[in-house]
Structure 1
Amino acid sequence: MRIDKFLVQAQVATRSQAHKLIKQKQVVVNDQVVKAFKQQIDENNDVIQVAGKVIHYQKYYYYLLNKPQGVITATKDAQHRTVVDLLAKDDYRADIVPVGRLDKDTTGLLLLTNDGQLNHNLMSPANHVAKEYEAVVAGPVDQTTSAQFAQGLVLRDGLQTQPAHLTIIQADPKQQASLVRVVIKEGKYHQVKRMFAATGGRVVELKRVRLGSLQLDETALPQGQYRALTPAELAQLKQNN
């Protein structure tokens, strides 16, 4: 990799700033001052310093976010706070994007990364990656509803869903409200909400608790907080996709 490209990817400087740093002899590779913008380096093994500080190379970043309500799944928005805005300054990169989307009022597990291939693999309908949600639903939810989910539903606009697994965790007949878990393997727009609407229910609260092999632990990761994936989590996520 060219040294100026490395400095840009490492977010040390813009291309023009990188050239200026090199001209000022502030960039050192393996204890040798860099003299040319086009100098090739081994980003994985060479020791690169800028103004005496060692710069570590990392190509891809993976963050597990517990998305709160009121934050939109986007990278930029003129009116609302986005999931990328929740990243600390040192963790922010312009190429980091959310994997899939959660509605503004939906909470829970959201993966942020600049690994485009993994993003594609997780979201491709052909890969059938499981997405698990916990929901509070107003209206009737019973074993008939579970059977309808298991067969696949025709939504109100005529679209057909794939079979989904519905588990009733707790039902309150007096308040006509139920706590349920739903596992789907596709990602139609507002799909979980639309599936319940097709059966006469209404989703009051919705939280994603799993994406593929990734599980959300709200005790360790409160809403609005995020952390880097562990090597084991990343390896399992890639192995399953």
Structure 2
Amino acid sequence: MRLDKFICHHTGISRADAKRVLKQEMVTVDEAVIKDPGFKVTDDMDVELEGRPLGAVKPRYFMLNKVANTLCSTIDEEYPSVLSYMDLPNTKGLHIAGRLDVDTTGLVLITDDGQWSHQITSPKKACMKRYRAWLAEPLVADAEKQFAEGVQLHNELELTKPAILERISDTEVLLSISEGKYHQVKRMFAAMDNKVMQLHREQIGEIALDPDLEEGEWRELTDAEINSVWQK
């Protein structure tokens, strides 16, 4: 694979930007600075952008059922990284496509394909995510209407985009949103004087959490799941 294409594939940046970072000597292959966009990258080469490792030539795609008190980060901090549950020989270049709060459980998508994850995380793509939430107080009667019209979050100028709220019971709901604001689900219910006691993500786009995966377990995505992201 051409080096400029490889960079685009793993970062989501444009071909023009890839050539720019190459020209600025920001890319190394096996610790040597390479400026040639047409340089051929093979499976056994280590490619880094500003010292950050990029992934393998063949992109990888996984789903993981996140455990509570784990971080959607590639490094261990106060809590362990979700990647610590993956017994892979090489996790270099992997990143999380759509992070979850430390106490939130459920579906996490992990890849080294920057363009693919961009389809999920970019606000312009409006990728739907479905969450199951358990609440401290009974849901107000017109909650479905309020969520469909948009909710005014604290310290936000605009309403949230329309969301789909399904009432399982007065304290258990399914919520589908197309945004990814900071702590958005928790803040939406807080705006209604309620509190999320437990939060679990069940679906991203057309990719649903595999019911056979126990907490902390993972598997590779199927071709159909991978391709569904491009077909939105």
- TM-score tier after normalising by the smaller chain length: 0.7 to 0.9
Alignment match, 1:15: 30
Q: Equivalent residue for 1:212? A: 205
- What corresponds to 2:176 in structure 1? 183
Distance in 1, Cα, partners of 2:160 & 2:195? 17
Tell whether the 8 Å contact from 1:193 to 1:202 is kept in structure 2 after alignment: yes
Q: Work out the CA distance in 1 between the residues paired with 2:150 and 2:104.
A: 23
Question: Deviations along 1:99-120, whole A, 9 cap, x unmatched?
Answer: 1210010000010000000111
State the AA in 2 paired with 1:85: S
Divergent runs of 4+, >2 A: 40-44
Does the residue aligned with 1:80 lie in a helix, a strand or coil?
coil
Compute the displacement of 1:148 (Å). 0.8
Distance 1:231 1:182, change over 3 A: same
Q: Deviations 1:73-98 (Å, cap 9, x if unpaired)?
A: 111133320012121132x3210000
- 2:199, 2:185 → 1: CA distance? 9
CA distance in 1: counterparts of 2:173 and 2:230, whole angstroms: 28
Match 1:225 to one of 196, 214, 217: 217
**Given the alignment of the two structures, is residue 149 of structure 1 paired with residue 142 of structure 2, yes or no?**
no
1:81-120 equivalent positions in 2, closer than 5 A: 81-90=80-89, 92-120=90-118
- The one of 175, 196, 201 equivalent to 1:203 is 196
Report the TM-score, using the length of structure 2 for normalisation.
0.74
SS in 2 for 1:143: coil
Q: Distance in 2 between matches of 1:168 and 1:209?
A: 15
Q: Aligned partners of 1:228 and 1:150: how far apart in 2? A: 34
Gaps in structure 1 of 5+ consecutive residues:
3-13, 17-39, 49-56, 172-177
The residue type equivalent to 2:30 in the other structure is: R
Whole-Å separation in 1 of the counterparts to 2:92 and 2:221? 19
In 2: Cα distance, 1:42 partner to 1:85 partner: 28
| Amino acid across the alignment from 2:118 | H
Question: Is the Cα contact below 8 Å between 1:140 and 1:200 reproduced in 2?
Answer: no
Whole-angstrom CA distance in 2 between matches of 1:140 and 1:68? 26
In the TM superposition, residue 143 of structure 1 has moved relative to its aligned partner by 3.5
Contact 1:107 1:207 in 2 (8 A): yes
Please say if residues 142 and 168 of structure 1, whose CA atoms lie closer than 8 Å, have aligned partners that are also in contact. Answer: no
TM-superposition CA deviations, 1:40-60 (whole Å, max 9, x none): 98969xxx9xxxxxxxx8520
Equivalent residue, structure 2, for 1:166: 165
Instruction: Report which stretch shifted further, 186-195 or 116-125.
Output: 116-125
Q: Larger C-alpha radius of gyration, 1 or 2?
A: 1
Structure 1 counterpart SS, 2:210: coil
Give % identity: 39
The C-alpha deviation readout for 1:163-189, integer Å capped at 9, x for no partner, is 111110123xxxxxx110000000000
The partner residue of 2:226 within 234, 237, 240 is: 234
| Aligned residue-pair number | 188
CA distance in 1, matches of 2:218, 2:230: 20
RMSD between aligned residues: 2.4
What CA distance in whole angstroms lies between the structure 2 residues aligned with 1:112 and 1:15?
25
SS in structure 1 of the partner of residue 81 of structure 2: coil
**Contact map agreement 2:119 2:229 (CA 8 A) in 1:** no
Q: Which amino acid aligns with 2:230?
A: K
Look up the match of 1:75.
74
TM-score, length basis structure 1? 0.72
CA–CA separation in structure 2 for the residues paired with 1:197 and 1:170:
18
